[in-house]
Amino acid sequence: MAQAYRADRVSTAEADDPESGRRPAARFLGVRGWGRDARGATTWRRGLLLAVLALLTGALMAFHAEVPNSAGNLGSLLETFLPWVGLAVPVLLVPALLRRSATALLALLVPTVIWANMFGGALTDKGGGTGDFTVVSHNVAAVNADPQGTARMLEDSGAQIVALQELAGRPLRTYESELADSYPYHAVEGTVGLWSKYPIGDVQVVDIKMGWTRAFRAQVDTPKGPVAVYVAHLPSVRLKAEGGFTVNQRDVSAQLLGDAIEAEPLKKVLLLGDLNGTMNDRSLAPVTSQMRSAQGAAGDGFGFSWPASLPMARIDQIMSKGGLEPTDSRTLERDGSDHLAVAATYRY
């Protein structure tokens, strides 16, 4: 037995000796290739923690609707930034390769496939064909230091219908004067407004229980026929100084806006606005369940609109129902706002 043990030690030493004529075992961070590591663990036994993290990432994406909103509105927060959960895959891939873990690599296929199934379609250009008119929605920001520049950007967009949010005071007067020549028709209610090259009529405030007007409905008479256009700015979800979140107000406002759209007598309907939530956000279901996103149907990429300095979420939306067909969706160049303007072209 002692002789066999000695022979084994000699054999191992010779394997690691370049002068022995034998090829040394491949080592990388203490791991011999894809075989056993220095402690004898196989490629299937290594990286079990990484494999668990990969499977949890896939489960988080697949079952995001099960994450409760009761604790800090975590469910809606996750859904707002849901595409970014996929970044966990390359983050986990690096240590999985370093550990030469087949188990971890195999587990990483799960979140990869789930992400591709959920968001892979956003990476292709779905636009095509010509449209009848273009619309733009933009939260111009109350603190916008260059409303004239914003107005020029809106005119250069070529849009026939423009919806603006966060209008107040002197900037509002600037937009009214700067856009007057290009858009002879406009309506402003509270802090939201609508400018159009086509006649606007039957303006009605939509009460979303904010204490001041942040939503209204108007009929725009396009050359192809009337369209009901809703302009809205839903409350944001944020931590208040006195404690607590404003999520309840946002949810109530979303429900009221959804009810108004559902009761709309005109068949063709557009919604333009800052909804402070993405199409994945369950709290916006009263609206999103009955309308089609222009970005999802005709966009190229995710179309993130906020924050303008480093866009991470699409919270500015253009949606439609009643047979309006989007042929293009995009974001516009950055201006003085903390949001990017979003645009879409429609076929009536």
User: Mind listing the pLDDT tens digit for each residue in 177-195?
Assistant: 999 999 999 999 999 999 9
Considering the domain architecture, whether residues 189 and 302 belong to the same structural domain is answered as yes
Which domain, by its residues, includes 106? 22-122
Considering the domain boundaries, does residue 14 fall inside one? no
Q: Distance between CA atoms of 336 and 122, rounded to whole angstroms?
A: 27
Sign of CA pseudo-dihedral 164, 169, 173, 178: negative
Domain boundary among 122, 142, 177: 122
pLDDT of residue 323: 92
Maximum separation of any 2 CA atoms in the chain, in Å: 101
Q: Distance between CA atoms of 262 and 281, rounded to whole angstroms?
A: 19
Considering the domain architecture, whether residues 294 and 233 belong to the same structural domain is answered as yes
Whether the predicted pLDDT of 4 surpasses 50: no
CATH code: domain of residue 156? 3.60.10.10
Considering the domain boundaries, does residue 16 fall inside one? no
Considering the domain architecture, whether residues 210 and 75 belong to the same structural domain is answered as no
Considering the domain architecture, whether residues 116 and 136 belong to the same structural domain is answered as no
Domain boundary among 90, 107, 122: 122
Higher pLDDT, 250 or 213: 213
Whether the predicted pLDDT of 260 surpasses 80: yes
Considering the domain boundaries, does residue 12 fall inside one? no
User: Mind listing the pLDDT tens digit for each residue in 12-71?
Assistant: 444 444 444 444 444 544 445 787 877 778 889 899 999 999 999 999 999 999 998 877
pLDDT of residue 9: 45
Considering the domain architecture, whether residues 74 and 197 belong to the same structural domain is answered as no
Whether the predicted pLDDT of 77 surpasses 80: yes
Q: Distance between CA atoms of 126 and 60, rounded to whole angstroms?
A: 27
Considering the domain boundaries, does residue 148 fall inside one? yes
Average pLDDT in the 104-125 region? 95
Average pLDDT in the 97-102 region? 94
Domain boundary among 57, 89, 122: 122
Q: What percentage of residues in the chain have a pLDDT greater than 90?
A: 76
Considering the domain architecture, whether residues 188 and 88 belong to the same structural domain is answered as no
Considering the domain architecture, whether residues 189 and 212 belong to the same structural domain is answered as yes
Considering the domain boundaries, does residue 139 fall inside one? yes
- The pTM of the full predicted model, rounded to 2 decimals, is 0.84
What domain count does the chain have? Answer: 2
Considering the domain architecture, whether residues 293 and 145 belong to the same structural domain is answered as yes
Q: Which of 146, 37, 39 is nearest to 101 (CA)?
A: 37
Whether the predicted pLDDT of 231 surpasses 60: yes
Q: What is the mean pLDDT of the chain?
A: 89
Considering the domain boundaries, does residue 197 fall inside one? yes
pLDDT of residue 83: 96
Q: Distance between CA atoms of 274 and 213, rounded to whole angstroms?
A: 14
Considering the domain architecture, whether residues 251 and 276 belong to the same structural domain is answered as yes
Average pLDDT in the 163-187 region? 97
Considering the domain boundaries, does residue 226 fall inside one? yes
Considering the domain architecture, whether residues 310 and 237 belong to the same structural domain is answered as yes
Considering the domain architecture, whether residues 78 and 147 belong to the same structural domain is answered as no
Considering the domain architecture, whether residues 136 and 173 belong to the same structural domain is answered as yes
pLDDT of residue 7: 44
CA angle 101, 106, 109 (to 5 degrees): 135
pLDDT of residue 247: 65
Considering the domain boundaries, does residue 1 fall inside one? no
